[in-house]
Structure 1
C-alpha cells in the first residue's frame, strides 16, 4: 500500500475553516458594537419610534453622573478583591489535588462541579443558603450561639457576593492543575538537591514555571469580574429580578447601574454610552495587566523583543 504524502491545502480551505468564526465575530460582536455606539448618540428609549440625534450629550452627562462613577469605583474594588482570591484559591486547590491522594479523581470532580452549575441556579441556591430566617448557614451559626446574620443586606451583602464568586473555583482549578502537571520534575528535584525547602521550591521554581497560566487567569478574571450583573440582582432581597432598586449599595456595581438605565429607566441611548465607556475602562485595565506581565511572567522561550 502506497504511503500517503503530505499535500498543501488550497487557500479556500483556510477560508472555509475560519469563515464561521469570522461570520460570528462580525454578526455577534462587530455589528452590535457599531450599532450600540450609534444608539449612544441618540435619546432612544427602546420602544418609541420617536428618537432624535443628541450627539455626545449622553457622554457629557455620564461625566457628571455621580451614581455611575460610584458604581464604577465599587466594581474596581470588588474586582481587586475577587480576582486575587479566585486565582489564589484555584492555585491552592490545584496544589492540594496534584498530590497522590486516595480517590483523587473523585475529589477533583467534586471541586469542579460547582463551576458548571448555571449562574442563575447558583445565585438562587446561595440566596436560599444565606437567607436570614431559613438559611442553612445561619442555622449552623445558631448552633454555635451566633445570632442570625442578614447576609443579603449591607454591609454583609458584599461578602455574600464574594462567597458566590469564589464558589466556582473549579474551572480555574482545572487549568492550574494542568499547568502544575506540566512543570518538569527535574527542576524541582534539582532545587531540593541544592537544599531548597518545599516552600522555596514552590515559590522560586513552580510559580515562575506556571506564571503564564496565572497571567491568563488574572486577565480573564478581571474581564469577567468587571461584567458581573446577574449575581447582585438575584442575591438582592426581592421577589423579582426587576427589583434592581433593592440591590444593596455595596453590590450596586457598574453593570447593575447599566441594567437600571436600560430596563427600568428605558434610557437605551444613555445605557449604550455607559457600556462604551465601560468597554474602554475594561480595555485599559486589561492593557495594564498585560503591561505588568513583564515584571512577573516568565516564559521558557524569550520573546524577540527581549533578545
Structure 2
C-alpha cells in the first residue's frame, strides 16, 4: 500500500513537474545563458560576451529612461487602483437595493481579456473615428490626438483603471470578513463613521491592501499593454509608441523583435526580475508595524511575553 501511494503521488505530480521543467525552468536558464551572449536569435554563430550586455544596459540612456517611466507609471497607477477599488468596495458593501447588480456591473470590465480591452481603448480614442472625439464634436470641440503625447499616458492610466473591479472584489471580501460587532461597539462609544473606518476597517483590512500593493507593483512593472494601443502594434512600428508610454517592457520587445538583440533583451529581462525581487523584499520590510493580522504569527506566539520591558 505504501508503494502504491508513492507511485500515485509521483503520477499526479509528474505532469506539473514536466510542465515546470519545460515551460519555466528551461526558458529561464536559456534566457540567462543568452544574456551573456551576443545572440540575434537567428545566427548559430553567437559568442560569449560576459557582462557586456549588463554594462551596456546601465549606460544606455533609452533603457534608463524607460525604466524611470515604468517607475513613475507604477507609482501613479498602484495607489490609484487600490484607493478606487477600496472606495467602490465600500459603496457596494452598503445595504442598498440591487447591490448584487452593481457589484456585477463594476466587476465585468475586469473579466475582459487585457488584449481585448487595449484594442477597444484604441478604437475609442482613435483620432478620426473614435467615440471620445465623437463626444467632443457633439460639444463643438476640436478632436484630440489621444494616442500621442501628451495624452497617451493618461489613456494608458485609464486603461489600467478599467480593471479596477478585480481590486474591488478582493477589498469587498476583506470588508465582509470584518466582524460587525466591532463597528457596532465603536458606534455605541460615540465614534464617527470616519473614525470607525480609520481605526477599525483599515487596520483589519491591511493584510488585503498589502497583498494588493505587492501584486499591483509586480503587474505594473511588467506592463505591456501600451504597445497594443499604439498607432502601429507591429515590430516595425515600435517607434510609433508615444515616448511617455515607451515603458521598460516595450523596450524589451523592441530589442527582441525590432533590433534582433536577443542577448541584450534577455539581460534586460533578468535585470527587471532582480528589480521586482528587490522591490517586493523592500515592501515586505516596510510593511512591519503597518500590516496587522487577526491571527498572530507562530513566531510571535513562541516568543516569551515580558512585563515592563523586562
TM-score, length-scaled by structure 1: 0.91
Corresponding residue number in structure 2 for 1:209 = 204
Aligned positions of 1:127-166 closer than 5 A: 127-166=122-161
- Distance in 2, matches of 1:291 and 1:17, equals 37
- Structure 1 residue 110 displacement after superposition: 1.2
User: Are 2:296 and 1:280 aligned?
Assistant: no
User: Are 2:78 and 1:83 aligned?
Assistant: yes
- Distance in 1, matches of 2:94 and 2:188, equals 20
- Which residue, 226, 243, 250 being the options, matches 1:249? 243
User: Are 2:34 and 1:39 aligned?
Assistant: yes
Cα gap change, 1:57/1:146 in structure 2, threshold over 3 Å: closer, same or farther? same
User: Are 2:104 and 1:109 aligned?
Assistant: yes
- Which residue, 234, 248, 258 being the options, matches 1:264? 258
Cα gap change, 1:19/1:206 in structure 2, threshold over 3 Å: closer, same or farther? farther
- Structure 1 residue 241 displacement after superposition: 5.9
SS of 2:95's equivalent in the other structure is coil
Cα gap change, 1:167/1:71 in structure 2, threshold over 3 Å: closer, same or farther? same
Per-residue Cα deviation, 1:11-65 (whole angstroms, up to 9, x for no partner)? 5555555544444333322221111110111111111112111111111111211
Corresponding residue number in structure 2 for 1:220 = 215
Cα gap change, 1:86/1:139 in structure 2, threshold over 3 Å: closer, same or farther? same
Corresponding residue number in structure 1 for 2:187 = 192
Per-residue Cα deviation, 1:192-246 (whole angstroms, up to 9, x for no partner)? 11111111111111111111111111111110111011x1111112264641110
Cα gap change, 1:21/1:206 in structure 2, threshold over 3 Å: closer, same or farther? farther
SS of 2:203's equivalent in the other structure is helix
The unaligned stretches of length 5 or more in structure 1 are: 1-8
Equivalenced residue count is 298
- Which residue, 61, 65, 82 being the options, matches 1:70? 65
- Distance in 2, matches of 1:123 and 1:263, equals 21
- Distance in 2, matches of 1:266 and 1:239, equals 17
Moved more, 262-271 or 242-251: 242-251
- Distance in 2, matches of 1:102 and 1:129, equals 32
- Distance in 2, matches of 1:214 and 1:295, equals 14
Corresponding residue number in structure 1 for 2:175 = 180
- Structure 1 residue 129 displacement after superposition: 0.9
User: Are 2:284 and 1:290 aligned?
Assistant: yes
- Structure 1 residue 67 displacement after superposition: 0.5
- Structure 1 residue 144 displacement after superposition: 3.7
Corresponding residue number in structure 2 for 1:299 = 293
User: Are 2:23 and 1:28 aligned?
Assistant: yes
SS of 1:289's equivalent in the other structure is helix
Corresponding residue number in structure 2 for 1:5 = none
